[in-house]
Amino acid sequence: MSGVPGSLDDWLPRFDFREYHERAVPVDELAAFRALLETPAGCDRLTRALLGLRGLRAGRVPLGRMFEAMGFDVLERTGISLVVGTTGQPWRPTGPLGAFADSRPATVRIAADLRARRGMISTETRILALDDRARRAFRRYWFVVGPFSALIRRRWLAAASRAIAAASCPTAPSPNSR
């Protein structure tokens, strides 16, 4: 195990697919994590459009609540990390998500986290196919969806970083405020 509280290594140490993104931020871990959790899932027009294409109307829902609203189990939450998971067939838009511990054939297990650590905020997603059929189906799905998923996650981190910068930058008085 990783020794890092709330680590994906504790929940999905083996995986077939992985996506990881990080961004440097100039604040402590607690403030960074709070900003990340408060970032709207639909943080900009493009992100809202991409989520909408997937049938998700996330809009202003904060990332800290979005996964649970989508049906993910909260696997672990600490002051600097949120780990969520589910099992299902994401390549089927109408397919229901199941409990993370579920191990039905032809499904994948998905674990994802939002984290702050040592001047960084990050998001990681890991996917484990529970059989060869699911692995082939997910590979085809991920070939198309993966780049857009990565773009969404990078935009989440950028939006959180902007919010952190805005909160830590004192507002200059306007010239007309004398």
**What does the alpha-carbon distance between residue 73 and residue 98 come to, in Å, rounded to a whole number?**
9
Q: Which residues contact 12 (CB under 8 A, 6 or more apart)?
A: 85, 109, 111, 126, 128
Kindly report the pTM of this predicted structure: 0.87
**pLDDT score, position 175:** 53
Q: Are 110 and 138 in contact (CB under 8 A)?
A: no
pLDDT in tens, the chain (178 residues): 444 555 899 999 999 999 999 999 999 999 999 999 999 999 999 999 998 888 777 778 899 999 988 889 999 999 999 999 999 998 887 777 899 999 899 999 999 999 999 999 999 999 999 999 999 999 999 999 999 999 999 999 999 999 998 887 655 454 554 4
DSSP letters, 6-70, are T-GGGT-SS-SEEEEEEEE-SS-HHHHHHHHHHSBTT-SHHHHHHHHHTT---TT-BHHHHHHHH
CA 47 to chain centre: 13
Q: 3-state DSSP call for residue 152?
A: helix
